[in-house]
Amino acid sequence: MAAWSQTWTFFDGAWLEGNPGIFGPRTHAVWLGSSVFDGGRAFEGVTPDIDLHLARVNRSAVALKLKPTMTVEAMAELVREGVAKFGPKAELYIRPMYWPEAGAWSAVAPDPETTRFCLCIHEAPMPIGPGSAITLSPYRRPTPETAPLDAKAGCLYPNNARALIEARERGFDNCLLNDMLGNVAELATANVFMARDGVVMTPMANGSFLNGITRQRVTRLLKEAGVPMVEGTLSYRDFQQADEIFSVGNYGKVQPVIRIDDRDLQPGPFYRRARELYWAFAHA
């Protein structure tokens, strides 16, 4: 049996503790992958950009042809209620979700009128440790014509999961995935930044990966602080030659990369500056 961390889920008008069974074998999302979600964070008493995460889950629902049933304001109030069920300094993952219960005119198409909602909040400690070791995955990100890349959809994650598993089987913590043109898109679990010769660089948001809310925030903070910052086309060789690399994403916020293939790296000044700026923003 799975050892679940402390969890509260709002569903059908009530808060349920633990991991409640809210899907059935006929639920469309269970067998046809039609769920969307988002992930906010609570840590050190703050929930940075939670309104943007809640707004994005509604956009994701529309992109997957579902019907959002909650306003951002209503979800924000539930977030406040749910977070209050934990300790004041709890480190939490905040996950609003939509999914269709049934299909429409075919078994495959979802029926938007059966869209369901839940808000799941659970304990998830912020990552600690020296940083991660990364490599290049043999798998690639899809294109917008082949997958719903304008949504944070559950059906997109098995591809990243198999990339992550393959990398870990080779002794790495994470991996970079290229897009279909052979340019670096993202890490399997986060967006990615690098620095070389005094300039911070990150892959341009070209529709092949989720332009993360934390990615956008860190990019803006660096630019506002006067840090030379470029969003562009980057190859794996660019990352192999980087002075430093760091990941940016909701789950771990800003984390260093300490090895790429067999080359060791150190957490550098741009990683430290990005983390400092983000933490200051979060607490402001």
Q: Mean per-residue pLDDT for 15-30?
A: 96
Q: How confident is the model at residue 106 (pLDDT cuts 50, 70, 90)?
A: confident
Give the integer Cα–Cα distance in Å for 62 and 153: 11
Using the predicted structure, report yes or no on whether residue 3 has a pLDDT greater than 90: no
The fraction of the chain above a pLDDT of 90, given in percent, is 96
241-to-11, 54, 234, 263 alpha-carbon distances in Å: 48, 37, 11, 10
Mean pLDDT estimate for the chain: 97
* Beta carbons within 10 angstroms of residue 35's beta carbon: 25
Instruction: With beta carbons less than 8 A apart as the criterion, state whether 251 and 189 touch.
Output: yes
At residue 2, the pLDDT reads 62
Instruction: With beta carbons less than 8 A apart as the criterion, state whether 115 and 102 touch.
Output: no
Distant-in-sequence, close-in-space partners of 262: CB < 8 Å, separation ≥ 6: none
121-to-21, 42, 86, 284 alpha-carbon distances in Å: 15, 9, 9, 23
The candidate with the shortest Cα–Cα distance to 60, out of 166, 181, 147, 175, is 147
83-to-16, 26, 77, 118, 125 alpha-carbon distances in Å: 14, 32, 10, 15, 14
Domains for the chain: give ranges and CATH numbers.
7-123 (3.30.470.10), 132-283 (3.20.10.10)
- What is the model's pTM? 0.95
